[in-house]
Amino acid sequence: MDDFSEEILPHGYGYQTEHGRGYSTRMFSLDSGWTHPKARWAAPLNRYTVNYQNRSFTEMDQIRAFYYNHYGSAKGFRLKDKLDFSSAANHRGTPTMLDQTILLTGGVYRLAKTYDIAGTVVVKPIYKPILGTVLISDVGVNVTGSVTVNYETGVLTGYTPTGAYKAGFLFHTPVRFNGEQLIVSIDDHENASIESLELIELRLT
């Protein structure tokens, strides 16, 4: 079984969603009393707690089918993070081809997004660009047509840049369900709610 599907979590979740950025940090305590924090991750993983309030049974059916088909937490899927889905500086704007510098790691060009939070620069690879939204430029020249974008990995192939290699795109966040159960509450004869559904971002390799 694939551990990731390219499906998108349906029916935009409610607005009371909680977002969190999680780091894994290990503290080393020395005998002398010094502690030495060791950051284990360069890039954080997001967590979400989403809800669906008072949705129609039909929508709930689809969410349930979605849950079944991902075997609960087993399979990852795409989530549109309502706060961060674009390469634009404000995370939600219309992307332009100059938004983000394309990352070159291990000889592979891939989409990435730079977050500069209070001087701390974090570069996150973008694994799940949205089909058809990727714009690519080489020294300010649009070369989108020359580049092959793998929309399932964010890897760019087929083109060797001559200078500043940049891209703009919309993207999904790869996540999976966290927790063991989907809990649906029936509100009335037409509506139901999911009070809380935890999602956790996946680190894809």
Partner 1 sequence: MDFDEVRLPERLTFGSRGGPSFNNTVVRLHGGQERRIVRWRAPLHKYNLAPVLKTSTQLDTLIEFYIGRKGPARGFRFKDWMDFTTAADSRSVPTISDVVCQPTDGTFTIFQIAKTYTFGALTFTRKINKPVVGTLVLGKNNVQVLSGFTVNYATGRITFAAAVAPSDVISCGCEFDVPVRFDDAVDILSLTIEAFNKNQTPDISLIEIRVDSTAVLDTTPGNPEVPPPTPGEVGEACERTPINTALPAVFYVTGLPGPGYQFNEGNNWFVLESNLNDLTGLDYTLTAAELVAGVTKGTGVFYNWVDKTTLLNIPGRYYEVMWRWTPRTLADNIDCKVGGIFHIFFSNASIEVPVFGGFSDNNSPWSEIHSSCQRVHNTACLEHGSGQPEISPVVKPPSQGLPGSVLMSQGIDSAKPSGGGAGGTSIVWGDPINLYFSRPKGADTRVMYASAHMLASEEMQQVTQMKGPVIGAVTPTGYGLVNATEYNLEWHVARRKINSTDDMGSVITAGALVASEPKLYRVHMRLIKQLSPFVFDCLRIQLFIKNWMGTGNDFVIFDTGDWTVLTGGGTEIITYGGGSPDTLSYHYAPSGSGNVSVWKSDWTDGI
Q: Which residues bind partner 1 (CB under 8 A)?
A: 1, 3, 5-7, 10, 24, 40-41, 45, 57-58, 60-62, 64-75, 176, 180-190, 192, 202-205
Work out how close the CB of 33 gets to partner 1 at its nearest, in angstroms, rounded to a whole number.
26
Looking at this protein, which amino acid is placed at residue 92?
R
Work out how close the CB of 139 gets to partner 1 at its nearest, in angstroms, rounded to a whole number.
34
Q: 166 or 172: whose CB is closer to partner 1?
A: 172
Token duo for residue 192? 């139901």
Work out how close the CB of 147 gets to partner 1 at its nearest, in angstroms, rounded to a whole number.
26
Q: Which residue's structure tokens are 């070369």?
A: 143
Work out how close the CB of 154 gets to partner 1 at its nearest, in angstroms, rounded to a whole number.
15
Distance of alpha carbon 110 from alpha carbon 198, whole angstroms: 28
Q: 44 or 88: whose CB is closer to partner 1?
A: 44
Question: For 146, phi and psi rounded to 5 degrees?
Answer: -95, -10
**Planar angle of CA 157, 163, 169, nearest 5 degrees:** 55
Work out how close the CB of 152 gets to partner 1 at its nearest, in angstroms, rounded to a whole number.
13
Q: 64 or 80: whose CB is closer to partner 1?
A: 64
Sequence-ordered alpha helix ranges (H) in 12-119: 57-69
* Cα separations in angstroms, 203 against 5, 101, 142, 173: 14, 20, 30, 10
Q: Which among 204, 198, 201 is positioned nearest to 182, based on CA atoms?
A: 198
Q: 54 or 146: whose CB is closer to partner 1?
A: 54
Q: 73 or 144: whose CB is closer to partner 1?
A: 73
CB atoms within 10 A of CB 119: 5
